[in-house]
Amino acid sequence: MKKILSSLAALLSFLYVAGQNDATLTIQQNNTGATISRHIYGHFSEHLGRCIYDGFWVDEKLPVKKKDRIRLDVVEALKKIQIPNLRWPGGCFADEYHWRDGIGPRDQRPKMVNTNWGGVTEDNSFGTHEFLELCSLLGCEPYISGNVGSGTVEEMNKWVEYLNFNGESPMTKMRKQNGREEPWNVHFWGVGNESWGCGGNMTAARYADEYRRYAVFAKNYPGAALKKIACGASSDDYKWTETEMQNIPLNQMWGLSLHYYTVPRNWQKKGSATAFDEQEYFTTMKKCLYMEELVSRHSAIMDHYDPQKRVALAVDEWGIWTDVEPGTNPGFLYQQNSLRDALVAASTLNIFNNHCDRVRLANLAQTVNVLQALILTDKEKMLLTPTYYVFDLFKAHQDAKLLPILLNSPEYSMGDEKIPSVNASASVDSNNVIHVTLVNLDPHRTINVSTQISNLSWKTVDGQVLTAAKYTAVNTFEAPHTVQPAKFNGAKKNGNNLNVSLPPQSVVLLEMKN
C-alpha cells in the first residue's frame, strides 16, 4: 500500500510540475484596427559619452568606411533593423544646446562644455546638418528635442524655420549658405526634455504654460506639419500626466512622453551589467514588467481626457541602466549588454505592441556605446549586442496590424515573489504573414505554449531564437557572436493551432505563412 501511495504521489508531483510548465495563448483577429507603429522601434542618440563622438561621428583618420565623418558600418547595421526614427540631441543635453553653435564652417563653431555628461569640451562639429545627413543615410525620420530649459521661444521658432521653410527668409538664406538648398521637413519635435528635472525643474502646471507658449511659435510650414511632443512624466508621476492633459489643448500636441528606466538595484548603486546572481536577474525582470502598469495607468488618464486617442503616449526614453563598466568615465554611461538586457528589450517591446492604440512612438536609450546600446565600438572594431538582435527579430511587427492575444502563463518564482514566465505579442502584415514574438523569462524551465489561432489561415511556420547558456552572456570584441539568433525548430503545426516548446531565458520569433 505504501508503495502504491508513493507511486501515486510521484505521478501527481510530475503532473503538477508538467502543468506548471504549460502556457496557453489565444491569438484573435483584430477588430479595433490598431496598428503597431514602426515608430515604437525608435532610438535615441544624445551628446553623451561615446554615442555621437567616437560612435556615429569618428575621427577622419579612423580606418573604417565613412561618409564625411559618419561611420558607415554603424549606419548599415541600423538600416538592417529598419530604424524608423532617431531622437537627438538629448536628453538632458538638449536643454543646454543652442543650435546656432552647431551650424556653419566647423572650424568657426564655438566649443562648449557638456556639463551634464562628464564635463568634457565639445567642438560642435556634429550639429544640425550632420545629424540630418545621418538620418538621411539611415533612411529614418529625425526627432529633434528643442531647448526649453535654457533656450528661448525665438530660438526654437527660428530652428523650425531653418529646418522646414522653403520660402524666402533670413533662416532659409542662412541654411542655403551652409550648403542645404531644400528644407528637411522635420516632423517630430520635442518641446523640452525632462522639464520636471534637468530640463528646468518645473512644476507640471508651469511646464504646461511654457509648452503652450512654445507650441504656438513652433510653426507648421507646407509639407512639414509638426508632430509636437510634450514633456511627460517620469515613471509613476501620474499627477504630471493629469496636469498636462488638463492644461494643454489636445490639438496642440501630437504626443505626451514617458520616461522609465529598469534599474536592477537602486539609483545609488545600480548593479553590474555582467556580474549578477539570479535574485538580481529576477528583480530586474520584475522591474522591467512594471512598464505594463505604467503604460496602462498613464493611458487610462489620457483616455479620460482623450477617449479618441488622438494624443500618442511617446515612451521616448526607456531601457536598462546599470553601473558603468569598470575603468570607464562614470559620466559616459558605457555599459555592457547581456542576454538579460535582450530579455528586457523583448518584454518591453511586447508591452508596447499590445498597447499600440496609445503607444505610437518609443526610443531606446541609447544607440551606440551608451546605456542599453545596440552597438559597441572600439576604434575600428564594432560589435552588435544581444539587444540589437531583439530589434532585428521584432522589426517584423513594424506597421503591421496588431493581433490581440489572451495569454495564460506559468509563474517564475523567487522567494515569495512571482512574475509571469512568458510574455508575447502578435501581428499580421500586409502580405497576411503572421508574426508572434514570445519571451520566456524563466532561466530554468522550458515552457510548452499551446497556441490557438482564431479565424486566421496559415500553412507553414518558421522561427528564430535568441538565447545563451547563461543570462550573463555578452558579446565582446574578442568573441562578438556569443549571443545571436539561430534557427528555431520548436514550433509544430497542430491543425490550425500551434504547439511551441519555448526554451529557458529565450526570445523567439515565429513566422506563419500560407
Is residue 210 among the annotated active site residues? no
H-run or E-run covering 151 = none
3-state secondary structure of 163: helix
Alpha helices, H only, 182-336: 204-217, 238-247, 278-305
Q: Which of 157, 167, 233 is nearest to 199 (CA)?
A: 233
Nearest to 124 by CA among 115, 134, 116, 113: 113
Nearest C-alpha neighbor of 254 from the set 203, 309, 307? 309
Catalytic one of 96, 130, 141, 317: 317
Among 141, 194, 210, 292, the active-site one is 194
Backbone angles phi, psi at 294, to 5 degrees: -60, -50
How far apart, in Å, are the Cα atoms of 296 and each of 302, 345, 405?
10, 18, 16
Coil vs helix vs strand at 204: helix
Contact between 403 and 36 under an 8 Å Cβ cutoff? The reply is no
Q: How far apart are CA 302 and CA 311, in angstroms?
A: 8
Find out whether 74 and 375 touch, Cβ atoms under 8 Å.
yes
Between the CA of residue 198 and those of 133, 234, 331, 401, what are the distances in Å? 28, 12, 15, 37
What backbone torsions phi and psi does residue 159 show, to the nearest 5 degrees?
Answer: -65, -45
Burial annotation 387-422 (CB, 10 A radius, 16+ → b, else e): bbbbbbbbbbbbbbbbbebebebbebeeeeeebbbb
User: Is 292 designated active site?
Assistant: no
Question: Do β-strands 227-234 and 411-414 pair in parallel, antiparallel, or remain unpaired?
Answer: unpaired
Cβ neighbours of residue 445 closer than 8 Å, sequence gap 6 or more: 20, 21, 410, 421, 504
Pairing of strands 417-420, 434-440: unpaired
Q: By C-alpha distance, which of 251, 161, 152, 133 is closest to 192?
A: 152
DSSP string, 326-338: TTS-GGG-----B
Is the preceding omega at residue 110 within 30 degrees of 0, hence cis? no
Cα 84 to Cα 132, 292, 331: the distances in Å are 14, 23, 28
Catalytic (active-site) positions: 194, 317
